[in-house]
Structure 1
Amino acid sequence: MTNRHLIDLSSMSQAELSELLNLAGEIRRVPGRFAETCHGKIMATLFYEPSTRTQMSFQAAMLRLGGRIIGFDDPNSSSVAKGESLKDTVRVVSGYSDILVMRHPKAGAAKAASLYSRVPVVNAGDGGHLHPTQTLTDLVTLNEETGRLTDLCIGCCGDLKNGRTVHSLIKQMSRYPGNSFVLISTPQLGIPSYLKDYMDARGVQYTELPTLEEAMPLLDVLYMTRIQRERFSSAQEYEQQKGVYVLDQRKLKKGKKSLRVLHPLPRVDEITVEVDDDPRAIYFEQTEYGMYARMALILTMLEGSERRLEPCPKSTHDHRCQNPNCITGQEAYLPRLFSGGGDMLTCDFCDERMLVE
């Protein structure tokens, strides 16, 4: 890979991504060929918030490759509970391991970790920002199930504001020709403006619709997401949005026979259990594809890697990011890194845009 770390899948070239997808497909077909390819390697998993599929699929991936695992799945069981900074945790753990996988509730945390790690860092989800390995899972799933990543009408339904899986999917699929999006959400849970700007800049077509019924006949892919209780500031706000969008067999009948229904899981009540038996519902198969995707990623990132610490960049501006969920608000020592110019700056950690005087 051209880039040492995987923070955002958009940092990979199309050629690199194509190689990764092909490798994942090969591993799926002949897994025994790769059984000991990571013998003697150690993967550290630093999970600052709960996870089932992402954490276990990374662990299963490394074990199936013959490697070993260290780490934590509860920061309260580590020195983080004593007030240890992200920088110090990463500096220490990257000395013990060959690759570091991190999930964190703050946007930009994986980017911050990459500044202080001696080994490759993989973003396993940073707050409501990005989730590149879930998107890699989605791409492998679509590639294997439909045979293409182009000319697809993709419906994204649910919490599009906080859904990091949706954000990553939109950014990545916008790079492939002929793809379009149907965005199905309440006004309060619509996608962030920077993603609309991203699509507009690339000439990607998208439509916003208020109901699943209107969208279903248009779609080649339906990407369902849950309303994320943990992203709301109060239980009342969550209850107002919960249960607005539910995919059931009646709505599914309006979809194409070739439709594929994906979901990053966990599911709460947004897909009824009767849908599970429909051949168009492939979200459980999607979880298995995720293991092969992560096996391919681990192999690719460890190839030719060596332990080294890059010089930490210096602040580019005096301003602070205004996003309350940005990692820079929690870890005050981080350099203030922004792109853009004039009166509009974009935080390099969380992609939040802000006007400055």
Structure 2
Amino acid sequence: MRVFLNRHYVKPCITNADTIRTVEGYSDIIVLRHFESGAARRAAATAEIPVINAGDGPGQHPTQALLDVYTIKREIGRLDGIKLGLVGDLANGRTVRSLAYLIAKYQNIKIYFVSPDVVKMKDDIKEYLTSQGVEWEESSDLLDVASRCDVIYQTRIQKERFGERIDHYEAARGKYIVDKKVLGVLPKHAVIMHPLPRLDEITVDVDSDPRAAYFRQAKNGLYIRMALLKLLLVGH
């Protein structure tokens, strides 16, 4: 198996058609992470081998969504009827965007969006959820949302997405933190997830709680991505 792994800082022109055609001669699969939304889609339109989107800027992160749904199923025991709280940088967080798309395929889903005003979930996701009959609600009260949810999915405020708008970053950072207070209202069966890495949005004293699932979540990514590689290699 030959897999070409790329991050945008290694080869910024990776989605150039000539580059893709050259790279596919060296590999069986291209795994592409890029800073631009839609980069993986453009690469796939050129390549004759499978292209895996490993994250395209603030756009999508499909393999993360697969491992997130798998983690929810393992931890909670079901996917239908889930109440999911998405917390943090929802405007730039590709993981929460992809998870919202994928979880919408299940029945009786309710999603709560909890974020600072400057990084609210974008309208395209809200419109998609509405079109799929998924109930969603925006809230500024993390404790209230945590008391209702099966899953709290925390994300970091992504400083690199703010550019020169440092004042916006400082206004958003630290506003919503998962700590012992959140654990105190979180249902006993519920779990806390995070795509990692974290900064200070989940305090370290939460780690020892059995409902802290983020390290198990990360480990599940190994198995999901192994399965995806095998599926594509056999199919290809």
**TM superposition score category, shorter chain reference:** over 0.9
Match of residue 43 from structure 1: 3
Q: 1:141 to 1:85 in 2, by over 3 A?
A: closer
Q: Tell me which of 82, 86, 90 is aligned to 1:160.
A: 90
Give distance in 2, aligned partners of 1:301 and 1:163: 26
Equivalenced residue count is 235
Q: Give distance in 2, aligned partners of 1:135 and 1:95.
A: 29
Superposition pairs for residues 234-313 of structure 1, below 5 Å? 234=164, 235-305=166-236
Which one of 96, 120, 135 corresponds to residue 190 of structure 1?
Answer: 120
Match runs of 1:309-348 below 5 Å: none
Q: Any residues of structure 2 matched to 1:141-180 within 5 Å, and which?
A: 141-180=71-110
- TM-superposed deviation, 1:302: 1.1
What is residue 141 of structure 2 aligned with on the other side?
Answer: 211
In structure 1, give the amino acid aligned to 2:199.
Answer: V
Q: Which residue of 2 aligns with 1:354?
A: none
% identity of equivalent residues: 41
1:85 CA displacement: 5.9
Query: Aligned pair 1:133/2:68, yes or no?
Result: no
Query: Where does 1:211-230 land on structure 2 (aligned, <5 Å)?
Result: 211-230=141-160
Structure-2 separation of matches of 1:89 and 1:236: 38
Q: CA deviation at 1:86?
A: 2.5
Counterparts of 2:14 and 2:104, CA distance in 1: 39
Which is bigger in relative contact order (C-alpha 8 A, separation at least 6)?
1
Does the Cα contact within 8 Å between 1:95 and 1:118 map onto a contact in 2? Answer: no
What is the CA–CA distance in structure 2 between the aligned matches of 1:267 and 1:86, rounded to whole Å? 33
The whole-number CA distance in structure 2 between the counterparts of 1:86 and 1:148 is 42
Render the CA deviation track for 1:110-133: whole Å, top value 9, x for unaligned: 001111112100000001010000
Letter in 2 for 1:45: L
Secondary structure of 1:100 counterpart: strand
Partner of 1:29: none
Question: For the residues of structure 1 that align with 2:82 and 2:199, how far apart are their CA atoms?
Answer: 27
Q: Give the Cα separation in 2 of the matches to 1:93 and 1:202.
A: 38
Q: Which runs of 5+ in 1 are unaligned?
A: 1-40, 49-73, 306-357
Shift of 1:154: 0.2
